[in-house]
Amino acid sequence: MEIISIDAIEILDSRGNPTLKATVVLQDGSKGTFMVPSGASTGIHEAHELRDNDKQRYHGKGVQKAVQNILSISEKLYFREFTQESFDKALIELDATENKEILGANAILGLSCAFARASAKFYNLPLHEYLYRMKHSISYSNKKRQVKPQVTPFANVINGGLHAGNDLQVQEFMIIPLKGDFTYKTRVVSEIYHTLKSLIEKQYGKESTAIGDEGGFAPALSKSKEALDLLVEATKQCGYSEEIGFALDAAASDFYNTETKKYQIEKDLHLDYKELTQYYNELLKEYPLISIEDPMAEDDFEGFMYFMANSLEPKEKNIFSNKKKVLVVGDDLLVTNPKRILEAQKEKLCNSLLLKINQIGTLTEAIQAHKLAESSGWHTIVSHRSGETPDDFIADLAYALESSIKLGAPARGERVAKYNRLLELYHNN
């Protein structure tokens, strides 16, 4: 496939900050676009998101440099035969840095995913089918697969940490529907979400039901148990107590003191990694927790190893693992980087991958990360970012990889777009 046109413009993400939209057109007129997301709670090892740092525009957050980088390399990509893998490799080589700091991972990802969309149209395939075949190295001309994968939503309904203005240190409190197809799971999430809103309004006042970046509520809470108790009550009132699991995104790097090597998990609680493990174990005893993301700071390998060896089994049956273990999900720890995944596998730091395509910068590398995780029996959770766009690409990616998906609450257009795309896929396939 030859590229005949490349374009990019500066647009806004769901927080009103600049990001970019890339467009790729192939020789037959097949056109693909992609709007690049951005994170707030970012790992220090993520691929470099290029910003202008011009304080006179968007407080320094503009992405005109990344847009210009796309336009400046376009002629080097025209009229050359590419597969997805060779195109992504060409982008990496044009940048020629370890963390994509010259072109910017946002510029590279925009092109990588826009090329994928254009290629899917070129082969007359749905995007998810193109991605599935890419993962499995299957010919793009074969018959379409008939199996419907079971994608499970991880829905962030109470916010803390960098996503909220309350005193919760844990960043996300999620509900996970464990039974039924995606259509039923979406209904369950929506019903619990609206019941939770009523509970919060009754206990904390109407002003506490304003929503955060990912659609979750951020009432004036300070302790993890207060948030989890709200989830228990909302789930009970909806009649779903027997079919819901809970998940945390601790984002522990954000409350870790590198000098004292202590975690301030609550206002007056400064814990070392062994004490923090005991804190999580108390929650595992009391609540149907089946997943904890980034329980330790991104480079606290000793803490991760200790937690992996000493965490309790979840109360709730873990449908994602046959080893009766809590999902220990690496986000900031792994940053969707195959090199860090290999290190984590060797040291037994976690057992699940949070896959964020903008952490690594190309689709090929993201799928490679997933395949590495899968090779060790890990579970993969494809994830949105807090600064999202209406682009529903990751819904097709989760469907293609037969993974779970972390997509926020069923609120805000950029979150609902992912739910609705998956609902459409389950209706049509």
List of residues 6+ apart from 411 with CB closer than 8 A: 193, 211, 215
Enter the tokens of residue 111: 């092109």
Residue in 214, 298, 388, 414 annotated catalytic: 214
Residue in 61, 121, 185, 356 annotated catalytic: 356
Give the count of beta carbons closer than 10 Å to the beta carbon of residue 139: 7
Q: Cα torsion at 108, 113, 118, 119 (round to 10°)? A: 100
Q: Are 157 and 145 in contact (CB under 8 A)?
A: no
List of residues 6+ apart from 265 with CB closer than 8 A: 169, 170, 224, 255, 271, 276, 279
Q: In what order do the strands lie in the sheet with 256-257?
A: 256-257, 262-266, 269-271
Task: Reply yes or no on whether 214 is catalytic.
Answer: yes
Task: Reply yes or no on whether 356 is catalytic.
Answer: yes
Residues facing 32 on adjacent strands: 24
Active site residues: 214, 356
